[in-house]
Amino acid sequence: MKFAQILGERIEAHPGKSATCPVCEASVIAKCGEHRAWHWAHRGVRNCDPWWEPETEWHREWKNRFPAHWQEIIRRADSGEKHIADVMTDRGVVLEFQHSALRRDEREAREAYYQNMVWVVDGLRRIRDRPHFFSALGSGKILAANPMTIGLRVKGNALIRDWGASAVPVFFDFGDAAQPDDPLNFIKPILWALKPQSPSDMAILTPITKASFGAFFAEGRPYETFDVSAALNRAGLAPASPPLPPPPSGRDVLREHFARTFNARARRRF
């Protein structure tokens, strides 16, 4: 954990300090080594929140894109069950940064618990996920030119298979460095947004800039997407006729999703 409590205040780990876990109130000790980001740890081996995963630099970088008072927020259900959300925005949207593998039932349990949430998934954890994803892009179908929207076959793509049935938006982070054999190159660091509940055989994805992901949640600004109409026209290519019901024309499915979830806040369980 980045934060624990000392005299009721949220404090970051410092060498030699001890503090109180905000979830179970046990005492936690500061771990301030050279290899991992400074953090608080329980004296036992396990964290009291079974959903907690050891933090990587990747987690910290993502959390630190948001204000400190949005980070590591404890959510409590009516049943008394408590979990630490990586980030919760001032509009109540939970952002979970997922590095390690998650079983399907665990993913579903967390989506049901938080409801109003999105996943940001580390696409670099498994060595083959990135090359598989980008090679699938080369044969993906362009479903819309603006914003650029691509349909990818799920078959043979482990990452998409793991996350494709998610009921909430998923954003894949493949790092900021383009590779020489990428079929698409973007000038700015991007995330691939997966449409919630894409059809079972095809994932529908829209690239957005990474910077605009933060701006969306912090300031409500729209995602920065890509318009490839001109490029397709120049190449004499119209977007392929979609083999599926097309996404609602001219509407951004993600913004629509959030408009819905923001409006549904009053119905939330928390």
What are the residues binding Zn ion (CB under 5 A)?
A: 21, 23-24, 48
**In contact, 248 and 215? CB cutoff 8 Å:** no
Give phi and psi for 204, each to the nearest 5. Answer: -105, 120
Q: Which amino acid is at 131?
A: P
Whole-angstrom distance, CA of residue 93 vs CA of residue 265: 9
Under DSSP, is residue 98 helix (H, G, I), strand (E, B) or coil? strand
Q: How far is the CB of 41 from Zn ion (least distance, A)?
A: 10
Q: Whose CA is closest to 223, among 235, 211, 232?
A: 211
Pick 22 or 196: Cβ nearer Zn ion: 22
Residue 18: alpha-carbon gap to chain centroid:
31
The candidate with the shortest Cα–Cα distance to 157, out of 175, 177, 172, is: 172
Q: Nearest approach, Cβ of 142 to Zn ion (angstroms)?
A: 48
**What is the spatial order of strands in the sheet that 202-209 belongs to?**
71-76, 82-88, 94-98, 117-122, 170-173, 190-194, 202-209, 148-153, 141-145
Q: Which is nearer to Zn ion, 28 or 94 (CB)?
A: 28
3-state secondary structure of 120: strand
Q: Smaller CB distance to Zn ion: residue 40 or 174? A: 40
Query: What strands, in cross-sheet order, belong to the sheet with 3-6?
Result: 9-12, 3-6, 18-20, 27-31, 39-42
State in angstroms the smallest separation of the CB of 140 from Zn ion: 44
Instruction: Look up residue 213 and give its two tokens.
Output: 């992901």
Q: Of 5 and 135, which CB lies nearer to Zn ion in the complex structure?
A: 5
Of the pair 27, 179, the CB lying nearest Zn ion is at 27
Q: Which is nearer to Zn ion, 41 or 118 (CB)?
A: 41
d(CA 148, CA 143): 8
Q: How far is the CB of 80 from Zn ion (least distance, A)?
A: 14
Residue number, 74 or 230, with CB nearest to Zn ion:
74
Structure-block tokens of residue 173: 């982070």
CB of 26 to Zn ion, least distance (A): 5
Cα 191 from Cα 181, distance rounded (Å): 18
Question: Smallest gap, in angstroms, from Cβ of residue 52 to Zn ion?
Answer: 9
Tell me the closest approach of the beta carbon of residue 218 to Zn ion, in angstroms: 29
